[in-house]
Amino acid sequence: MSSLIGQRIPKLDAPDKATGRATYGHDVRLPGLLHGKILYSAHPHARIVRVDTSRAERLPGVKCVLTAADNAPTRFGYGKDQTPFKSMARSLRDEIAGVVAVDADTAYEALALIQVEYEPLPAIFSIEEALTPDAPLVHSEHGSNLFQTYHYSHGELLRGEAESDVILEASYRLPYVTHACMETSVVVAQFEHGGRLTLWSTTQIPFLLQRDLSEALGIPGSQIRIIQTSIGGAFGRGLDIYPYEPIAALMAIKAGKPVRLAFTRREEFNAGPARQPAEVSLRAGVRRDGRLTFRDVAAVLDIGAYVSWGSVTPLVMMETTASLYKIPHVRFKADCVYTNNLVTGAMRGYGNPQSTFFVETMMDQLAEAVGMDPVEFRLLNANEPNTTTPQGLVITSCGMKECLQAVAAAADRAAKRQGDEAIPEPVTHYQTPIFNAQSSNSNTLKRGIGFATTLNVGGGARIYRSDGCGASVKVDDFGHVTLVTGSTEIGQGSETVLAQIVAEALGVCPEDISVINTDTDVKPWDVGVHASRTTFIAGNAAHLAALDARAQIFETAAEMLGVSPDQLIARNGRIELATPHSPPATIPSLPLSKVVRQRHFREGGTVVIGEGWYDPPTKLVDKATYKGNISAAYGFGAQMAEVEVDTETGQVRVLRLACANDVGRAINPMAVEGQIEGGAQMGLGYALTEELIVENGRVLNPDFHHYRLFTAADMPEIETIIVETDDPGGPFGAKGVGEMGGTPTAAAVANAIYDAIGIRMTELPMTPERVLAAILKKEQVHDRPTL
């Protein structure tokens, strides 16, 4: 049997998902299950004077109605500014009351019977309004709408400016976007005898959620059990506690029966945690020889009415600003501002798609300013292995240059293609094909190529005091292996990758492995699935547990074979003497199952259970300077986008996207490609089509008609290139890849648009309207007639 590392092993859970047998939160069935619905505020900012629930309570089928009076007295959430139900509405997504009924129809009908008397208050919907001196306060107890400010610097900005031959500046506007998981948020809550709460949940942080819920409900964390169902997409949505989770628990307490609370798609758009919009200004300098001198960023983020992890995204924006490319002088400032808009949170990339957009479009401008090829310019300034950035990031393995060279080669191949082969066929007829002729817009189509790179944590991210994960590996007397891991499967394929790691260490097939990873009563502690950390952190933990189990097995096998444990290897389900030059039939060996049985049946016997705990050798960033090595490894990537811009309509079609990523080592290349390709879909949406349009705190497009995800028909040809650098700290050399696929995409597309039409787009998404407006503005400047 050859090594399992690097094999395209299909996901272990895929057959159940292909046949519709997987159980998602919407599919959980329990005896007596009731249905909850939430009534949201009718005003973006209002005091709740009175809530009359009597009519709703009288509706047949309604079990109970809840309001702020049912809250525990504590507050919860990242900023400790949340309660389940509100007595003061601060946004249109604020929960005012909830209904539990026998079915969803009845609960919905009851919502309309709840009468709420509001005292509307002045509200603020923009960063500018929020920061005016006499602005109404979103949280009066906080004393200001400015929740938090981040200041970072290294080097000396003035020196950087003095060393520059060219200084450029630009400002950027970044939109609200949302995870758009295919499964909407859902939770099922049940109280058992003795008051123990079981929650079936789509969370990404089961153990932190225990603690958060304990705070929100005022019951001990030991009384809360989280069971994770199959999760229909996460992408950061489940990285925090949100009010619907304690609300479901309160409903189950009050109703005395299990309750399901499931979002509609509209609720998902309105009440889910969006990626926060931001306004950014950037100044940057370069020397004539192409060396970067300084970068100076000031960002303001609208975090909405409550704080969630979204307010920590400046930490990652800061990392890109300070450490993407070698740059001696950096200043970064970010303000997080409360408004009466949506609630924002964590979303895949966590500040990095935003910052990579402005840093990498500026890189193109700087290259042009000094007359350098954009790839050469990037190679000159690229990060390198075995270096420490001024911010304190310890870069071990680094394939940034290899990634750049790989996508540059893809661009060359694209340029060399001729004729019909040059453009992928559009999937639709733009106009009725009646003349066997090309569309008449071929002379308005301009093509361009753009590049961008990315740096992302790839060895965990220490944002809590622990960045650890636990694992155990049990081997039974059939030679079957059970991995119990603290980590969470959210579709990314973690359980398959972990099974490969354990199988490799124990010399068994992945089919011989069961992965248990869904129940806090069973699995060991883990921080959660975020920051592209699972392969590295949970992988190392699982590997350690497997090695521990293997040592136990070797000890017994050595006794049975009369050799020393260090002479043994595990392969093909057997424990063998390591004698590479002997014919296989003559090698002394034992089946794994026999060794385990020997341990069970002997006097003073014992089970084979290996334990693993891995917490990477990293530090929390310094609270004052934000410096320090937050991750045990860093992933790198580069993308090349080839676009076609219709200069009359502003429509941008991405023809090709080449994505190269340094993943250390691809334990499962198919899963790695899947992360990159899926990330690219999200990145392309961020670049071109996705935007939650929010006016006066209201989402104007809370549906998939108008919130436009890239469909299969819109996707470009994607070339996925895996660069391997064998990271010294990763399991079998692997680093994380979960977020990098979509991080550089918007910048690569923007740079390609510039290459095509000579216009720098600084606002996302780059919709046909925005591109056309920029084209028309440029034409006016040049005194050309308009269309």
Partner 1 sequence: MKKAITLTVNGDIHELYVETHHSLLDVIRNELGLVGTHRGCDTGNCGACTLHLDGLAMNACLLLAVDYDGSEILTIEGITQNGALHPLQQALVEKGGIQCGFCTPGVVMNTLALLADNPHPSKTEIRARLSGNLCRCTGYVKIVEAIMSVSH
Partner 2 sequence: MFPFNYRTPTSLPEALDLLARENASAHVIAGGTDMVLNMRNGLKAPKTVINLKRLPELKGIAYEEGRGLRIGALTTLREVHRSPLIQMHYPALSHAASRMASEQIRAFATVGGNLCNGSPSADTAPPLIAFDAIVHLVSLAGTRTLPLKDFFTGPGTTALQPGELLQEITVPPPNGKTIFIKHIPRAYMDISVVCVAVRLLMVNGVCQEARIVLGAVAPTPLQARAAEASLSGKRLDADLIEEAAQTAAKESHPIDDAKGSAWYRKQMVGVIVRRALTTFFENV
- For partner 1, the closer of residues 34 and 217 by Cβ is 34
- In contact, 345 and 237? CB cutoff 8 Å: yes
Q: Specify the stretch interacting with partner 2 by CB under 8 A; choose among 15-23, 485-493, 703-711, 733-741.
A: 703-711
Buried b (16+ CB within 10 A) or exposed e, 718-736: bbbbbbbbebebbbbbbbb
Q: According to CB under 8 A, which one of 31, 432, 624, 782 is a site residue for partner 2?
A: 432
Sign of CA dihedral 534, 540, 541, 546: positive
- For partner 2, the closer of residues 195 and 426 by Cβ is 426
x/- letters, 669..688, toward partner 1 (CB under 8 A): -xx-xx-xxxxxxx------
Nearest to 444 by CA among 591, 155, 641, 649: 649
- For partner 2, the closer of residues 285 and 683 by Cβ is 683
Q: Which of positions 421-440 make contact with partner 1 (CB under 8 A)?
A: 425, 427-428
Q: Residue 8: helix, strand or coil by DSSP?
A: coil
Q: According to CB under 8 A, which one of 103, 384, 412, 648 is a site residue for partner 2?
A: 648
Q: Which does 162 bind (CB under 5 to 8 A by kind): partner 2, partner 1, none?
A: none
x/- letters, 685..724, toward partner 1 (CB under 8 A): ------------------xxx---x-xxxxx--x-x----
49 interacts with partner 1 by CB under 8 A: no
At 314, list the tokens: 């400046």
Q: Which of positions 209-268 make contact with partner 1 (CB under 8 A)?
A: 230-235, 264-265
Single-letter amino acid, residue 748: A
103 interacts with partner 2 by CB under 8 A: no
- For partner 1, the closer of residues 113 and 490 by Cβ is 490
Residues 6+ apart with CB under 8 A from 296: 157, 282, 283, 284, 330, 331, 332
Query: Distance between CA atoms of 171 and 762, rounded to whole angstroms?
Result: 7
- In contact, 399 and 727? CB cutoff 8 Å: no
Q: Specify the stretch interacting with partner 2 by CB under 8 A; choose among 76-84, 306-314, 336-344, 705-713.
A: 705-713
- The residue from 739, 763, 769, 779 that is catalytic is 739
x/- letters, 103..132, toward partner 1 (CB under 8 A): --x---------------------------
- For partner 1, the closer of residues 26 and 333 by Cβ is 26
Q: Which does 439 bind (CB under 5 to 8 A by kind): partner 2, partner 1, none?
A: partner 2
Nearest to 375 by CA among 400, 416, 405: 405
Residues 6+ apart with CB under 8 A from 425: none
Q: According to CB under 8 A, which one of 601, 705, 781, 783 is a site residue for partner 2?
A: 705
Q: Which of positions 475-514 make contact with partner 1 (CB under 8 A)?
A: 490-493
Q: According to CB under 8 A, which one of 41, 365, 689, 762 is a site residue for partner 2?
A: 689
Q: According to CB under 8 A, which one of 416, 437, 566, 604 is a site residue for partner 2?
A: 437
102 interacts with partner 1 by CB under 8 A: no
101 interacts with partner 1 by CB under 8 A: no
Query: Distance between CA atoms of 381 and 383, rounded to whole angstroms?
Result: 7
Q: DSSP secondary-structure letter at 97?
A: E
13 interacts with partner 1 by CB under 8 A: yes
- In contact, 255 and 220? CB cutoff 8 Å: no
Query: Distance between CA atoms of 260 and 313, rounded to whole angstroms?
Result: 31
Q: Give the number of other Cβ atoms within 10 Å of residue 555's Cβ.
A: 13
- In contact, 534 and 543? CB cutoff 8 Å: no
Q: 24: burial class by Cβ within 10 Å (0-12, 13-18, 19+)?
A: middle
Q: 584: burial class by Cβ within 10 Å (0-12, 13-18, 19+)?
A: exposed
Q: Is the peptide bond before 765 cis (omega within 30 degrees of 0)?
A: yes
- In contact, 548 and 610? CB cutoff 8 Å: yes
Minimal distance in Å, beta carbon 728 to partner 1?
A: 28
Minimal distance in Å, beta carbon 420 to partner 2?
A: 19
Active site residue 779: no
- In contact, 690 and 708? CB cutoff 8 Å: yes
Size of the site for partner 2 (CB under 8 A): 38
- For partner 2, the closer of residues 519 and 714 by Cβ is 714
Q: Which does 435 bind (CB under 5 to 8 A by kind): partner 2, partner 1, none?
A: partner 2
Query: Distance between CA atoms of 553 and 727, rounded to whole angstroms?
Result: 29
Minimal distance in Å, beta carbon 592 to partner 1?
A: 27
Please list the active-site residues.
739
Applying CB under 8 A, the residues found at the interface with partner 1 are: 8, 10-11, 13-24, 26-27, 29, 105, 179-184, 230-235, 264-265, 425, 427-428, 490-493, 670-671, 673-674, 676-682, 703-705, 709, 711-715, 718, 720, 741
